[in-house]
Amino acid sequence: MDFSLNEDQLMMRKMVLDFVEEEVIPQAMIIDKTQEFPLTLIRKMGQLGLMGISIPEAFGGSGLDFLSYILAIEEIARGSATTAIILETHTSIGTLPILYFGTEEQKRKYLPKLARGEMIGAFALTESNSGSDASSIVTSAERRGDHYILNGGKRFITNAGYAGVYTVLASTNRALGNKGITAFLLDANTSGLSIGKAEEQMGLHGSSTCELIFEDVIIPVENRLGEEGQGFKIAMSLLDGGRIGVGAQALGIAQAAFEAALAYSQERVQFKKAICNFQGIQFMLADMATQLEAARFLIYHAATLQSLGLPYSKEASMAKLFASDAAMKVTTDAVQILGVYGYTREYKVERYLRDAKITQIYEGTNQIQRILIAKHLRK
């Protein structure tokens, strides 16, 4: 497959690179320390067209393809994984559900605001007792005439509290299992919706991960996304794209860690020479560079298949699995190369290590990715 980027993709990547160098990197350590949600960067991403990168121009977006979006996530994650996951959630599982499954009216209502970054998107599937087993959700939506009554709760919801709209998965018929799950668009200001516990996380400081509580929330029928019972398939198909996004996030973090380790190894002198001249360090750097290259190929391959409208579930799982495992290895080795300096908060590599870990967990653990890949091998 040819990964030579077209003019639009190259221009977009250059624009993102400048934004990352000038505005994201200088803020990243501050965001990590203060743990403040980076609203200024999000507004700026809205002005640059990044919040609507995958939305057609007819709905106020930039109208770029999926690979362009993935390139943007990779670059932003190189600067700040926190900022990248906000954009990734907003796009892959916050905005694309409406673009792919929404009615014309739903698209007109939400997409322009999401594209400008005036509204942030989020996705609410996970519950306290439903993680990997996604079809075991107990949040219920009961039809009553022209509306549904939503009760229950969600856990670990990225962008919660800042999102203007949530794609919520709820059971409309428990007896039907995954075929009784339905998706809804829930406006953040709807009465009965409240934001619960905010999680304190190992990494991604400054991102928001909270509980959602639903108490007799009234959702009009026109806010149902797709048909009753289609919710599980909608969620699964969205997660396929989301997983490529998480892979790109992992890749960006790993790239940053590699660059930091390489630069340090060229400056750090021990035994009268820069440590990059020792074969022990060279082998580590060579392995890191090779892992990055392999991850990049898997991610661009999966994103290109998505852009072309070809099947890509297996490739998305492979990309996410490989890139996130590579990110853990590369960030761990980066800390090792910086030695005790790398273990301190004065250097960035310990942040990269903390930020990388979640990429092996969210949007489907790497154990789930292996199950999914194995299922495809049987077909």
Residue nearest to ligand COS (CB): 364
372 binds ligand COS (CB under 6 A): yes
Query: Token digits for 330?
Result: 């590369």
Asked if residue 148 binds ligand COS (CB under 6 A), the reply is no
Q: How many separate helices (H) and strands (E) can be counted in the chain?
A: 12, 10
CA distance 31 to 82: 8
At closest approach, how far in Å is the CB of 237 from ligand COS? 4
The least distance separating ligand COS from the CB of residue 177, rounded to whole angstroms, comes to 8
CB 286 within 8 A of CB 217: no
Asked whether position 106 contacts ligand COS by CB under 6 A, the answer is no
Separation in Å, CA 82 to CA 114, 316, 341, 374:
19, 21, 23, 31
Q: Which stretch binds ligand COS (CB under 6 A): 222-230, 235-243, 259-267, 271-279?
A: 235-243
Is residue 126 part of the contact set for ligand COS (CB under 6 A)?
yes
Residue 135 Cβ vs ligand COS, minimum distance, rounded to whole Å: 4
Tell me if 299 sits within 8 A of 248, measured CB to CB. yes
Which amino acid, 278?
F
Is residue 346 flagged as an active site residue?
Answer: no
364 binds ligand COS (CB under 6 A): yes
Instruction: Return the structure tokens found at 157.
Output: 């919801």
Question: In whole angstroms, how close is the CB of 229 to ligand COS at the nearest point?
Answer: 10
Structure tokens at 198: 């905010």
Whose Cβ is closer to ligand COS: residue 116's or residue 233's?
A: 233
CB 1: neighbour CB atoms within 10 A? 8
Nearest to 264 by CA among 165, 349, 344: 349
- Binding track, positions 2-41, relative to ligand COS; x by CB under 6 A: ----------------------------------------
Considering only 12, 239, 254, 303, the residue that binds ligand COS (CB under 6 A) is 239
Regarding beta strands 224-225 and 181-187, do their DSSP bridges make them parallel or antiparallel, or are they unpaired?
antiparallel
Binding mask 168-207 for ligand COS (x = CB under 6 A): ----------x-----------------------------
Tell whether residue 86 is a contact of ligand COS (CB under 6 A): no
In the set 25, 138, 195, 236, which binds ligand COS (CB under 6 A)? 236
Q: Is 62 in the site for ligand COS (CB under 6 A)?
A: no
Position 233 contacts ligand COS (CB under 6 A): yes
Angle at 13 between CA 311 and CA 356, to 5 degrees: 70
CB 24 within 8 A of CB 41: yes
313 binds ligand COS (CB under 6 A): yes
- Binding window for ligand COS (CB under 6 A); candidates: 23-31, 34-42, 123-131, 328-336: 123-131
CA distance 342 to 349: 6
Nearest distance in Å: CB 178, ligand COS: 5
Near ligand COS by CB under 6 A: residue from 66, 232, 300, 347 = 232
Contacts 24+ apart (CB under 8 A), 98-101: 98/165, 98/167, 98/185, 98/225, 99/54, 99/55, 99/56, 99/59, 100/237, 100/238, 101/183, 101/225, 101/226, 101/230, 101/234
Binding of ligand COS by 135 (CB under 6 A): yes
Q: Which residue matches tokens 């007792």? A: 129
**Smallest distance, ligand COS to C-beta of residue 4, A:** 29
Tell me the closest approach of the beta carbon of residue 373 to ligand COS, in angstroms: 11
Least distance between ligand COS and beta carbon 222 (Å): 24
* Rounded distance between C-alpha atoms, residue 332 and residue 49, angstroms: 34
Closer Cβ to ligand COS, 190 or 365, answer by number: 365
At residue 133, the 3 state secondary structure works out as: coil
Active site amino acids: 363
Please give the residue ranges that form the binding site for ligand COS (CB under 6 A). 123, 125-126, 132-135, 178, 232-233, 236-237, 239-240, 313, 362-364, 368, 372
